Amino acid sequence: MKNITKALNIFVLEDDKYISEFLREFLSEYFANVIIQTDNRFTYSKLEHIDIFLLDIEIPFDNGYEICKKIKLLFPQKPVVFLTAHSQLEDKIRGLELGEEFIPKPFEPLELIARLENLLSNKYSEYYYLNGLLVNKSIQSVLDSKKRKEIKLSNTEKKLFFYLYNNIGLCLSKEQIIEHIWGIDYNDKANSLNVYINNLRNKVDINGDIIHTIYGYGYKMSTH
């Protein structure tokens, strides 16, 4: 897992003003979005985009255990971590029965991140973050990191994308690319390559941050 949390969203349920603000600032360095909630007045169905939940147990109008049950009912595959001052053995056992991790307060911030990343690595271990994309080489899959949906690529588009991706940072000539994709002479497929590059950009690189034209030579995929 490489920089994967930068593409993910975390939901934090914490009623303590100072702790919640600290978590917002600290976790923002690691996650794409940090959503802070101080009580139970939120709509569960709108949490579909959340990748991991961090819950306190004692909150106004409810408790973290019951909220965890509701989350797991709707999103059973998404990890839930308890971050709480409740440190009795029975609290830990109940928390681990309902969720995936139990971290007592006070907590060490870097340990918290390590535990969160460890949980997320189980789900996203084969994915790498690339400028708004989640890329899985082993199954040849490209996801939109915000929508968590696979970007549909044709066989040729997929072959082109992963050839550039496997040579990321390198300038590839048009001749090299055409030989790899079609296995024929450059002149026969020069126009086709331009068409497929444009199609690929429209699907995975609307902002022009990933696939770069090396004028008079070819193309390069870049991480920035």
pLDDT class of 186 with cuts at 50, 70, 90: low
CB 131 within 8 A of CB 224: yes
Question: Which residues are CB-neighbours of 138 under 8 A, at least 6 positions away?
Answer: 126
pTM of the entire structure?
Answer: 0.65
> What domains lie within the chain, and their CATH numbers?
4-125 (3.40.50.2300), 128-221 (1.10.10.10)
Sheet holding 52-55, edge to edge: 33-37, 9-13, 52-55, 80-84, 101-104
With vertex at residue 104, the alpha carbon angle to CA 101 and CA 106, rounded to the nearest 5 degrees, is 140
What is the pLDDT averaged over residues 130-153?
85
Q: Which of 20-29, 67-76, 150-159, 180-189 has the lowest mean pLDDT?
A: 180-189
